Homo-oligomer: A and B are copies of this chain.
């Protein structure tokens, strides 16, 4: 079988020197990739964030990416070049990317000018329209430079990134897709209900649900949720890797 694993985290550029990142190390993804690759009949490709842990097996093809946009390009390229039987999308993709940045002082100055330049008082409708307009435009002329640090408060305005996971089945409807959901300090019931919703929302065949508070080193509680409501549970990263392989290769 041909298997695509994504792992680690994307990084979103703030300016020439700064970026937004996440704590995903890629360790679980690398173990999943190695666990498939040890069987001779599996060909594994591993798309990973820069700095993420990579699998040990040298037969695995590595594709490093930086931003969520890089990830989108890499996944589209793989799925339009090869037929993948399985896609395991464990990468922590940034939900947001930079739109524009401005200081609180700039926001105040530009809003006051836009609102009160022509009139002494303004009503709610004028205010609503002006706020959205000013927020969308502020600071866009300074893009790509290092943001000045002379102001007391800086505002970073982020916009949502496209849902890359939803593109996978659009390109290859017949692949078996495993999505991942990480929440922080929620109940098991809540975690599983969110994971079940994701099956339909992101067009996944399975969702691996986990909670950051149940992860420490190789100790890692993971639930594999499937559309028929069945559920399997594992307690370490190697167990999660084996649970995914067994479920996907013996169905």
Interface residues of A (CB under 8 A from B): 11, 14, 16-24, 51, 92, 94-96, 99, 104, 107-108, 111-112, 115-116, 120-124, 127-128, 131-132, 135, 145-146, 149, 151-160, 182-185, 212
Contact = CB atoms under 8 A, between A and B. Distances in A.
Contact of A18 (B22, B153, B157): B22
22 contacts: A16-B184, A16-B185, A16-B212, A17-B24, A17-B92, A18-B20, A18-B21, A19-B23, A21-B21, A96-B154, A104-B135, A107-B131, A108-B132, A122-B122, A122-B127, A135-B153, A145-B185, A151-B160, A153-B157, A153-B160, A155-B156, A156-B156
A149 B18 contact: no
Nearest to A99: B153
A160 B156 contact: no
A95 B15 CA distance: 13
Q: Is the interface of A mostly helix, strand, loop or mixed?
A: mixed
- What are the 6 A-B residue pairs with the smallest beta carbon separation, nearest first? A95-B149, A121-B121, A156-B156, A116-B124, A154-B158, A16-B184
Contact of A120 (B22, B123, B159): B123
Contacts of A145: 184-185
A123 B124 contact: no
Indicate how many identical chains form the complex: 2
A131 to B, nearest CB: 6
Contacts of A135: 104, 153
Contact of A115 (B11, B20, B127): B127
Given A19-B21, A108-B132, A123-B120, A160 B155 contact: no
Contacts of A111: 127, 131
Given A19-B22, A99-B153, A182-B17, A120 B131 contact: no
A192 to B, nearest CB: 17
A131 B108 CA distance: 8
A43 B204 CA distance: 57
A155 B158 contact: yes
